[in-house]
Amino acid sequence: MVATSSTRRKAQLLLLNPLLELPDIRGNVVTRLQKLAERAELDATVLALAGLARLDFNVTPEGLLKGDAVPDGLLATVLETDVMLPCVGQGALGIEVRDGDERIATICERLNHFNTLQCVTAERAFLAAMGGGCQSPVAAYAEVAGNFVRMRALSFADGPARRAEGRRPLKEAVELGHHLAAELSRLQ
């Protein structure tokens, strides 16, 4: 049994192995890890690598999950994006600024990473065009390659899994997201 409450993760896991049992698991990361360690019927859970990194957890070369409050003896492996696409915007941080606070807005603008912004913009445009939210059975992962944004997308909405991939110039991130959403919608 692989415990997860994410519809996106469940759908991708079932693509890998349709016989998996996927019970829900709730709570923060530490709570989920404790449940995994204490409940013998659970074989695994799937957690966001970005969330683990924010908590300063890491996977040792021997495959042990280490970090403050991680139960002893838990093994871990990183699922690459060719196996499990993350949710839109996974790992990106956003900062909200008070309306009209130009001084703080200027400081925050200098913190912005242009390539990450283009990736998140493409992913969010895709999600919006799919009519989705954080519980939608869709996934997208964008990366910068040279002067282009390349994105892979996946949808489980309304039927079997559909995949799309594309690339556009960096300044056309929104168009890339919309294009992939339209392509997946046509495949329904």
Give pLDDT tens digits for 143-166: 999 999 999 999 987 778 899 999
Instruction: For residue 31, give the H/E element and its range.
Output: helix 29-38
Q: Give the relative orientation of helices 114-129 and 173-186 as an angle to the nearest 10 degrees.
A: 30
Of 132 and 80, more confident: 80
Q: Locate 38 and state its tokens.
A: 């204490």
Chain centroid, CA 87 distance in Å: 3
Q: Is 38 helix (H, G, I), strand (E, B) or coil?
A: helix
Position 87 confidence tier, pLDDT thresholds 50, 70, 90 = confident
- Percentage of residues in the chain with pLDDT exceeding 70? 98
For position 146, what pLDDT does the model report? 95
User: CB-based contacts of 136: which residues, under 8 Å, 6+ apart?
Assistant: 7, 8, 127, 130, 157
- The overall average pLDDT reported for the chain is 92
For position 62, what pLDDT does the model report? 94
Does residue 188 have a pLDDT over 70?
A: no
For position 35, what pLDDT does the model report? 96
Does residue 97 have a pLDDT over 70?
A: yes
Amino acid at 37: A
For position 153, what pLDDT does the model report? 95
Instruction: Please give the average per-residue pLDDT across 96-115, as a whole number.
Output: 93
For position 34, what pLDDT does the model report? 95
Does residue 174 have a pLDDT over 90?
A: yes
Sheet holding 162-169, edge to edge: 138-145, 148-155, 162-169
Instruction: Please give the average per-residue pLDDT across 93-118, as a whole number.
Output: 92
Range with the poorest average pLDDT among 38-42, 119-123, 160-164: 160-164
Instruction: Please give the average per-residue pLDDT across 107-126, as a whole number.
Output: 93
For position 135, what pLDDT does the model report? 65
